[in-house]
Amino acid sequence: MSALDPVTFAILAGRLEQVADEMDATLYRSAFNPIIAEARDACHGLYHATTGATLVQGAKGLPIFVGAMAFAVKAVIDKVAEGAGIEPGDTFIFNDPYAGGTHLNDFRLVRPLIRQGRIFAWLASVGHWLDIGGNVPGGYNPQATECFQEGVLIPPVKLFRAGVLQQDIVDILQANTRLPRSNWGDLNGQLNALDLGEKRFHALIDEYGDDVVTAALDAASARADALMRQNIAALPDGRYSFEDYLDNDGIVDERLTIALDLTIAGDTMTLDFSRSSPPCRGPVNIARSTAVACCYVALKHVFTAVPANAGCLNPISFDIPETTFLGVSAPRPVAGYTETILRMIGVVFGALAKADPARATAAPFGTINALSIAGHRPGGERWVMFSFFGGGLGGNPLSDGLNHANNPISTATIPPAEILEASYPVMFTQWALRPDSAGAGEHRGGFGAVYEIEILSPGGADISLLGERGRYAPFGVGGGGPAALNTFTWDSDEGPRTAPMASKITGLRLKQGQRLRLETPGGGGWGDPTKRSPDAIARDVRQELVSPGAAANITKVSAI
| pLDDT tens by residue, 221-261 | 999 999 999 999 999 999 999 999 999 999 999 999 999 99
**Could you give the CA distance from residue 130 to residue 150 in angstroms, rounded to a whole number?**
13
Distance of CA 245 to the CA centre of its chain: 18
Q: What percent of the chain is modeled with pLDDT above 70?
A: 98
274 phi, psi to nearest 5 deg: -70, -15
Confidence of residue 557 (pLDDT cuts 50, 70, 90): very low
Tell me which residue of 328, 341, 456, 370 sits closest to 136, measured CA to CA: 370
Q: 371: Cβ–Cβ under 8 A, 6 or more apart, which residues?
A: 386, 387, 388, 389, 463, 464, 465, 467, 518
pLDDT confidence of residue 453 = 98
Burial of 202 (0-12, 13-18, 19+ CB in 10 A): middle
Question: Does the pLDDT value for residue 560 go beyond 60?
Answer: no
pLDDT confidence of residue 410 = 65
% helix, strand, coil for the chain, step of 5:
35, 25, 45
Q: In this structure, how many other beta carbons lie within 10 angstroms of the beta carbon of residue 411?
A: 17
pLDDT confidence of residue 176 = 97
pLDDT confidence of residue 4 = 86
Distance of CA 268 to the CA centre of its chain: 26
Poorest-confidence range of 11-15, 37-41, 348-352? Answer: 37-41
pLDDT confidence of residue 552 = 86
**Could you give the CA distance from residue 400 to residue 392 in angstroms, rounded to a whole number?**
10
Confidence of residue 525 (pLDDT cuts 50, 70, 90): very high
Task: Outline where DSSP puts E strands in 226-334.
Answer: 238-246, 256-265, 268-272, 316-319
pLDDT confidence of residue 358 = 81
Position with higher pLDDT, 305 vs 382: 382
Confidence of residue 66 (pLDDT cuts 50, 70, 90): low
Confidence of residue 360 (pLDDT cuts 50, 70, 90): confident
Half-sphere exposure of 240 (CA within 13 A, CB side): 20
Q: In this structure, how many other beta carbons lie within 10 angstroms of the beta carbon of residue 533?
A: 10
Position with higher pLDDT, 411 vs 329: 329
Average pLDDT, whole number, for the chain? 94
Question: Does the pLDDT value for residue 558 go beyond 50?
Answer: no
Distance of CA 74 to the CA centre of its chain: 20
- Condensed to tens digits (0 to 9), the pLDDT of residues 170-213 reads 999 999 999 999 999 999 999 999 999 999 999 999 999 999 99
End-to-end CA, the chain:
55
Q: What percent of the chain is modeled with pLDDT above 90?
A: 88
Residues 311-322, mean pLDDT to the nearest whole number: 95
Residues 342-357, mean pLDDT to the nearest whole number: 93
Crossing angle (nearest 10°) for helices 6-30 and 180-208? 160
pLDDT confidence of residue 255 = 98
Residues 61-73, mean pLDDT to the nearest whole number: 81
Confidence of residue 125 (pLDDT cuts 50, 70, 90): very high
pLDDT confidence of residue 555 = 47
Confidence of residue 515 (pLDDT cuts 50, 70, 90): very high
Residues 523-532, mean pLDDT to the nearest whole number: 95
Residues 286-307, mean pLDDT to the nearest whole number: 90
Tell me which residue of 433, 400, 524 sits closest to 473, measured CA to CA: 524
Q: In this structure, how many other beta carbons lie within 10 angstroms of the beta carbon of residue 19?
A: 23
Question: Does the pLDDT value for residue 7 go beyond 90?
Answer: yes
Q: In this structure, how many other beta carbons lie within 10 angstroms of the beta carbon of residue 9?
A: 17
Poorest-confidence range of 126-130, 185-189, 310-314, 494-498? Answer: 310-314
**Could you give the CA distance from residue 225 to residue 81 in angstroms, rounded to a whole number?**
29
CA dihedral over 172, 173, 178, 181, signed as positive or negative = negative
